[in-house]
Amino acid sequence: MRRDERLSEDELRGLMVRYQRGDFEAVDELVRGLSPLLWRYLTSPHTSRSDTEDLLQDCWVQIHRSRHTYRPVDPLLPWVFAIARHTRLDGYRRRRRLESRETLVATPPEAVVRRDHFASPDATRFTHLLEKLPDSQREVLLMLKVSDMSLEEVARATSSTVGAIKQKAHRAYARLRDMIEKEGK
């Protein structure tokens, strides 16, 4: 989904309010409008496609349970991403626990197939660089870049402060510059 195809913040808020009132159509539009953003956020090089689908479903269940906590005066994306972030951390812990107990008896599930062939070479290169960043820095850049959130919105989504988010973003830029320089040599 390209930036100009996305629903605007006002449209999303309107859908969320209708969802809180129990409107069936709003659920459909909201799920279709937000799922691609959530999918991109929940995808990681360490998760299979089926794991990411499970995470997305868990995330929506949590959004559904918490829908009464959203207030239309606040932006919607930070609220959604705060829940998504929690779901992702929860999923990561659960997966680690399971992995520590399980023995591999079959072929591992397919990894998430990226549609990199639709993207420009620069975008693909950047995606690979992003994957080398520490989780907390990658998360901040993903929210800023992919979800098109502002610094304040990312601070809200990560239960942090604008200053801390700026600091993480600056560290990420420094690392990326370093990687770009190494790749160039």
Residue (of 143, 116, 130) closest to 179 by Cα position: 130
- Examine residue 135 and tell whether it contacts another protein (CB under 8 A): no
Query: Judged by CB under 8 A, which of 45, 109, 123, 131 binds another protein?
Result: 123
Distances (CA, A) of 41 to 6, 35, 89: 15, 10, 12
Q: Does 181 bind another protein (CB under 8 A)?
A: yes
Show Cβ contacts of residue 168 under 8 Å, excluding neighbours closer than 6 positions.
Answer: 136, 137, 140
Residue whose C-alpha is closest to residue 64's, from 44, 46, 80: 80
Q: Which is nearer to another protein, 105 or 110 (CB)?
A: 110
Tell the smallest beta-carbon distance from residue 173 to another protein (Å): 5
What is the nearest approach in angstroms of another protein to the Cβ of residue 109? 15
27 CB-near residues (< 8 Å, 6+ apart) = 19
Q: Which of residues 68-107 bind another protein (CB under 8 A)?
A: 68-71, 74-75, 78-83, 85-86, 90, 93-94, 97
Structural contact between residues 111 and 49, judged by C-beta atoms closer than 8 angstroms: yes
Q: Are 170 and 133 in contact (CB under 8 A)?
A: no
Q: Which of 11, 48, 95, 129 binds another protein (CB under 8 A)?
A: 129
Q: Which is nearer to another protein, 105 or 181 (CB)?
A: 181
x/- letters, 36..55, toward another protein (CB under 8 A) = x--xx--x---------x--
Minimum Å gap between C-beta 57 and another protein is 6
111 makes contact with another protein (CB under 8 A): no
The piece of 35-43, 100-108, 131-139 that touches another protein (CB under 8 A) is 35-43
Q: Is 79 within 8 Å of 70 (Cβ atoms)?
A: yes
Question: Any contact of residue 131 with another protein (CB under 8 A)?
Answer: no
Residues in 9-28 at the binding interface with another protein, rule: CB under 8 A:
20-22, 24, 27-28
What is 24-51 written as a DSSP string?
HHHHHHHHHHHHHHHHHHH--TTSBHHH
31 binds another protein (CB under 8 A): yes
Neighbours of 166 (CB within 10 A): 14
